Structure 1
């Protein structure tokens, strides 16, 4: 015999489609993504302001400090605009139908709210069709003027978010490439300098016979040829 608790759980699963959202296009997901983008931009700004990060960035841009400055400012501007959009989502009018609007227009995979589990979960294609149909029905109960105003505002939010997301993806890809290409080389150079100084300080003119010198040779051999170019 099925317990009352199990019955409650099954009922909640069967009703998930009644409160649907588009997986990556809903207010909670957008808000969280804006927070994440802002956090990464802050981390990158901290990285490029550090000695290693600044050297890595300038080195990758062939010593062009002006271009490096513009690159850093692009992240600073993006960080500020993410913060501004987060504030706008709290202060400006966002339609109550925002989430179901993108369900109704078929904006990607859908999730359904499980009242028993207290979270969103994936739903079947059949349930997705029911969710889309229900959402369309709710929009149809709005007046034409209400629907036009809400649709316009939904797309304004969507366009603002996608614009920031595209800029972030482009800049993030660039900084990841710079980090991969340059940070390892710079760290190796600094390690070689440290080992060389340690060898000279300990052994003087006989440094080449010490363990420190062997370690220095090992690191120097591992350094890419390009690193020796002035």
Structure 2
């Protein structure tokens, strides 16, 4: 007996290539990524405004408070520009062919592959067939446009793409720097906690430091290994 629902599911899966998108370069993924970047910029603002985060930032920049301020402002500016681009995408003209344009341009090879719309599941999933089928389908749809419309659409698609990639690259560069600062700060905090733990163990009894107890030896060994910078207030 033929299962009608299973047949619908199978056919929808086979036809996903008819409505393809590039996984990491489509309008929805760009909007989401811009939102995520904004959120992370806000997290960085909160971190650098905290006492530990601000101190780590200034220390990493050799005590240059002006440079630390510029670093914070870079994240603030990026956050504002991501917000502006999200608004522009909603308000300005973005061609309906935006998603298939980059499929036809074979951007899937460098942007996470292709996804296809599943009419049964009502969502995007991986395409089981050869990606060239989806690319050819996208090209067919573009060929149906007039030359003038295609040129205008291509120009606008590249404007959106270049604006997004510019913001993405700025974020990646800034994030690499803040990750280093966070790791550095985490290392400092771990060292402080370990010092406190060893000190408490070594000073539990007044005589323990005098008879050179095991706790005292651990304390001495650890503190001797710390760099001079660790003792600077």
TM-score over 0.5 for the pair: yes
Spell out structure 1 runs of 4+ moving beyond 4 A: 190-197, 205-209
Shift of 1:112: 0.5
Please give the per-residue CA displacement for 1:82-103, whole angstroms capped at 9, x wherever unaligned. Answer: 1111111101110011001111
Q: What secondary structure does 1:117 align onto?
A: coil
1:181 to 165, 170, 184: 184
Shift of 1:54: 0.5
Aligned counterpart, 1:227: 229
Aligned pair 1:164/2:160, yes or no?
Answer: no
CA distance in 2, matches of 1:119, 1:38: 26
CA distance in 1, matches of 2:165, 2:71: 21
Shift of 1:193: 6.9
Task: Trace 1:1-230 onto structure 2 (pairs within 5 A).
Answer: 1-108=1-108, 109-124=113-128, 126=130, 128-186=131-189, 188-189=191-192, 192=195, 217=219, 221=223, 224-228=226-230, 230=232
Q: What secondary structure does 2:117 align onto?
A: strand
CA distance in 1, matches of 2:153, 2:138: 14
TM-score by length of 2: 0.84
What 5-or-longer segments of structure 2 have no aligned partner? none
Shift of 1:65: 1.1
What 5-or-longer segments of structure 1 have no aligned partner? none
Please give the per-residue CA displacement for 1:200-225, whole angstroms capped at 9, x wherever unaligned. Answer: 9x99x88968xxx96x9389639732
Please give the per-residue CA displacement for 1:4-60, whole angstroms capped at 9, x wherever unaligned. Answer: 111111011011011100111100110111111111111011000000100111111
TM-score by length of 1: 0.85
Residues 52, 183 of structure 1: 8 Å contact kept: no
CA distance in 1, matches of 2:129, 2:67: 49
Which one has a larger percent helix, Structure 1 or Structure 2? 1
RMSD between aligned residues: 2.8
Over 3 Å counting, the alpha-carbon distance change for 1:73 and 1:222 in structure 2 is farther
